[in-house]
Structure 1
Amino acid sequence: MNIDYSQFLNMIPETTLTAILLIVFLADLFTAPRSGESKVRSWFNPLVCVLMLAHVFINIFPTASATAFGGMYMTNPSVGVIKTILAFGTLIVLIQSREWLQRPDTNFKEGEFYELVISTLLGMNMMVSANHFLLFFIGLEMASVPMACLVAFDKYRHHSAEAGAKFILTATFSSGVMIYGISFLYGATGTLYFDDVVKNISATPLTIMGMVFFFSGLGFKISLVPFHFWTADTYQGAPTNVSGYLSVISKGAAAFALCSILMKVFAPMVEYWQYMLMIVIVLSITIANLFAIHQKDLKRFMAFSSISQAGYIMLAVVGDSAMGVTALSYYVLIYVVANLAVFSIISSVEEHNNGVVSMDAYNGFYKTNPRLAFLMTLALFSLGGIPPFAGMFSKFFVFMAAANGAQVTTTIGATIYAVVFIALVNTVVSLYYYLLIVKAMFIKHNENPLPTFSAHVNTKLALALCTLGIIAFGVCSYVYDWIQAASVMQ
């Protein structure tokens, strides 16, 4: 069998990530500390970050639509944009992880961390470019298995091993549910190619069950209600930087993949999955907001925040339009910078104050660390959708995409408007619990506030990038135009 190697030119993001993975692996192989030796490789993190930055710049310009491997792999400008956003978020995670990875109990595992992160990103890229259910499933597992290793990375500290066990059990169960649904779809249509499934699919009991099982499996990955039970325990037990990576990069890739498959593969069954999706969105936003209010651990708090944000991300899909793809990608970009800013500060506080992650510990934080408190406030305001920060614009575009074309005189249109209204009301609820942290930092008194400390230079750089994004991505229209232009080109 002759293989046309030129088709790898249609897979530039995956090719560059594979090259980065090989370079990092070889660098780690020949410079790793010997057994029992504690050696800080000060050059390692900058090398990985420079390689990832080069990857972002190489793939920042949308490419033309193309396929590879008999049509199983597909790329277009919109897919290229989401891959660039995911790579940009991964770069921030790599930057902010340097301080944590230089600890004596983790520096000997630094290379493994980078390799696992890049491997998960490679799997996510394959997942969003899949045009065949088999390749989609392979990409999903390529991302999930290394992610379980990342969650359990600090297996001798806190509850990392327990979090890893819960994550891998949930991931295994969700994968089984998903592949069960895919088998139903194959039995009904006789094919696994997306383009062929949409031609042969119709609303029969078999295909409806297949769609429900597939949606349920991917709902676990996005942590939508009622598939969210693993989220809080996993985020709490995992290393803070891994929790941040899991909350934005993994969630963003799975949400985009679900959006693409619903709109493309299940287009003939839109009236079925729209109602199912709207129910899940309302449950996710409402239940997560109510549970977040009662959290005392900041990482569990951010876990329920991420569940709510997942509901808002999927709200863009309800309208079933090209505007939804643009709004979803834009929301993921804003969510990346805002959420990673919060996790950067949580990680920095944790590293300098013996693992403190309780919300009460942040009482009076402004008095001893005013800059970090101010940046935390900006990030929380953006997550809550307070103008003029970028989060307000991302929520506006998501609401607009959901309501676009909906006719209030029809049942589905009226339902969509009701869901948007519920989401708007929940935005007010989310403002309340985000402001609880702001209140703790600026208003609540603390006899023993967190001591003054200087954040690591890498943390400062990550916060600078995130803050710049929070402020600029909303007011600089070319960012949204870049995403919209890619959606139009495909």
Structure 2
Amino acid sequence: MNDFFILMKFELLPAVIFFVLLFIKVGTAELSNASIIRLANILLFINLVAGFFYNKDGGMFGDMFHTNALIVLQKSILNLGIFIVSLQAEAWLRTHKHVIEFYLLLLSSLMGMFFMISGANLLMFYLGLELATIPLAALANFDLEKRKSSEAAMKLIMSSAFSSGLLLFGISLMYGTTGTLGFAQLPALLNGSNLQVFAFVLLFAGFAFKISVVPFHLWTADVYEGAPVPVTSFLSVVSKGAFIFVFASVLYTVFKPLADTWYHMLFLLSVLTMVIGNLFALRQQNIKRMLAFSSIAQMGFILIGISGSSQAGTASAVYFVLVYVFTNLAAFGVVALVSAQTGKEDITDYKGFHATNPVLAWVLAIALFSLAGVPPTAGFFGKFFLIMAGAAKQNYWLITIAALNMIVSLYYYLNLVKALFMDANASPVPKITFGVYAKLAIVICIAGMVLSGLASVVYEYIYNLSTGF
């Protein structure tokens, strides 16, 4: 029984928080939004800290569920992400009618991601995936009075249903050709037959939808724009991070015998994802859409690292997600504050932003430099390790294309920086007031961007936990 509680600690703690908030919702007098937000942040902080203690490797449920030190680290990164999202959501939630429901949906999705990461069986993985995805559609539609929010939810649920259908079809074909769904048994039964390759392509396409890989990316910008900014933050960082963790693990362990097949797929899709993501980001006027296409381009860099098929490939992907948590949430944190207090989300609205909000302008600028991969920010080291992992295959064309795309991305990131500091605006964004939660989130993100980049021990620790071919 002790092993049960230790091995499933990451899944049980969010469930406990879920029921605490649910009992408050149905069993007590109505609390103020400020009290609910304060309680939720305290519980999420306890959940984050508890993840670093009393962990052990092991499996349960007939080897359908497993955990190890790397999985513990991955879940802790997601716990950190959801804690920062909660801090940043305070300005938006304090006037919302459904605060507890927001946290219930977040926790439901987080539990699904944890089951998905620990899944050692295709069925367990799929159940975790659905538990992680369905609440996201409700979150995207959380601003019930806004038509764009409803449109975002519809596009997300339709895209998710289609990708889930592809995954299920691929899982059924894989089971039909191997007779098993267990991750431990599948590699020995993969012989590279046409039907198995077709089943793998379907599974690959399902993953590609979830992490917005071209050409399965079309839902991303519309959902990012229509959803509330804290939900967009959760989608762009926590949700994608979970799927990247699973994607790399499944390729390196379950589908290792098909490495020659998926390497060529990763090569082609990484190039398309980087190029199309950056080209579309150049044209965007809405800052959330620009960050959406930016995130698509970032997925292309992650595919390069994973294609390296090595211990460095796993380490670079996990490290980049950690850096991405701090960087992207810093950018979206500023956008969330501005959107909640002014409703402005266009890039032109940020002209002259530094004159009225110097602190927030610098936070956003540092985050943009990190996203662009400008040294000495953490984003530079994240992309450097991804490219070095991809270079293990000695495919220098891929590295060259990645470097050129980094140059292209500089244009739209620096265009926003120019608007912040250099462009004049007759009616600039007024001074934004932000409370202790937003300040704490900003401090965590800035400290994370600096320390995770400059402290080499962070990458070394992740590398020592990682596995490759």
Alignment of 1:30-429 (within 5 A): 30-31=27-28, 33=30, 40-60=32-52, 63-103=55-95, 106=96, 108-353=97-342, 355-404=343-392, 406=393, 413=394, 416-429=395-408
Local SS of the residue matching 1:446:
coil
Aligned to 1:36: none
How far residue 7 of structure 1 moved from its aligned partner, in angstroms, is 3.3
How far residue 269 of structure 1 moved from its aligned partner, in angstroms, is 0.8
Local SS of the residue matching 2:59:
strand
Q: Which amino acid in the other structure matches residue 171 of structure 1? A: S
Separation of aligned partners in 1, 2:398 and 2:5:
43
Between 1:304-313 and 1:282-291, the stretch displaced more is 304-313
**Structure 1: gaps (5+ residues):** 34-38, 407-412
Tell me, yes or no, if the aligned pair for 2:220 and 2:292 is still in contact at 8 Å. Answer: yes
Tell me, yes or no, if the aligned pair for 2:7 and 2:56 is still in contact at 8 Å. Answer: no
Tell me, yes or no, if the aligned pair for 1:93 and 1:340 is still in contact at 8 Å. Answer: yes
Separation of aligned partners in 1, 2:390 and 2:55:
27
**Equivalenced residues, count:** 469
Between 1:318-327 and 1:281-290, the stretch displaced more is 318-327
Tell me, yes or no, if the aligned pair for 2:37 and 2:90 is still in contact at 8 Å. Answer: yes
Separation of aligned partners in 1, 2:403 and 2:157:
34
How far residue 485 of structure 1 moved from its aligned partner, in angstroms, is 2.9
Aligned to 1:18: 15
- The percent identity for this pair of structures is 40
Separation of aligned partners in 2, 1:173 and 1:261:
21
Which one of 445, 458, 463 corresponds to residue 424 of structure 2?
445
**Structure 2: gaps (5+ residues):** none
Q: Which amino acid in the other structure matches residue 199 of structure 2? A: G
Local SS of the residue matching 2:184:
helix
What TM-score results when the alignment is normalised by the length of structure 2? 0.97
How far residue 134 of structure 1 moved from its aligned partner, in angstroms, is 0.3
Between 1:312-321 and 1:383-392, the stretch displaced more is 312-321
Local SS of the residue matching 2:307:
coil
Say if 2:452 is the partner of 1:473.
yes
How far residue 60 of structure 1 moved from its aligned partner, in angstroms, is 2.4
Aligned to 1:410: none
Separation of aligned partners in 1, 2:22 and 2:457:
37
Tell me, yes or no, if the aligned pair for 1:62 and 1:77 is still in contact at 8 Å. Answer: no
Separation of aligned partners in 2, 1:158 and 1:356:
17
Tell me, yes or no, if the aligned pair for 2:314 and 2:467 is still in contact at 8 Å. Answer: no
Aligned to 2:4: 7
Tell me, yes or no, if the aligned pair for 2:310 and 2:467 is still in contact at 8 Å. Answer: no
Separation of aligned partners in 1, 2:55 and 2:277:
38
Q: Which amino acid in the other structure matches residue 396 of structure 2? A: Y
1:275-331 per-residue CA deviation (whole Å, 9 max, x = no partner) reads: 001111111111000000000011111110111111112222101111111111110
What TM-score results when the alignment is normalised by the length of structure 1? 0.93
Q: Which amino acid in the other structure matches residue 119 of structure 1? A: S
Separation of aligned partners in 2, 1:62 and 1:478:
22
**Cα separation, partners in 2 of 1:63 and 1:486, compared to 1, 3 Å:** farther
1:449-488 per-residue CA deviation (whole Å, 9 max, x = no partner) reads: 1112322332222111111111111112222233223226
Q: Which amino acid in the other structure matches residue 10 of structure 2? A: P
Separation of aligned partners in 2, 1:360 and 1:110:
31
Q: Which consecutive aligned stretches of 4+ in structure 1 deviate over 6 angstroms post-superposition?
A: none
For the aligned residue pairs, the C-alpha RMSD in angstroms reads 1.7
Local SS of the residue matching 1:144:
helix
**Cα separation, partners in 2 of 1:487 and 1:54, compared to 1, 3 Å:** same
How far residue 158 of structure 1 moved from its aligned partner, in angstroms, is 4.8
**Cα separation, partners in 2 of 1:32 and 1:241, compared to 1, 3 Å:** farther
Which one of 7, 22, 26 corresponds to residue 29 of structure 1?
26
Between 1:55-64 and 1:265-274, the stretch displaced more is 55-64
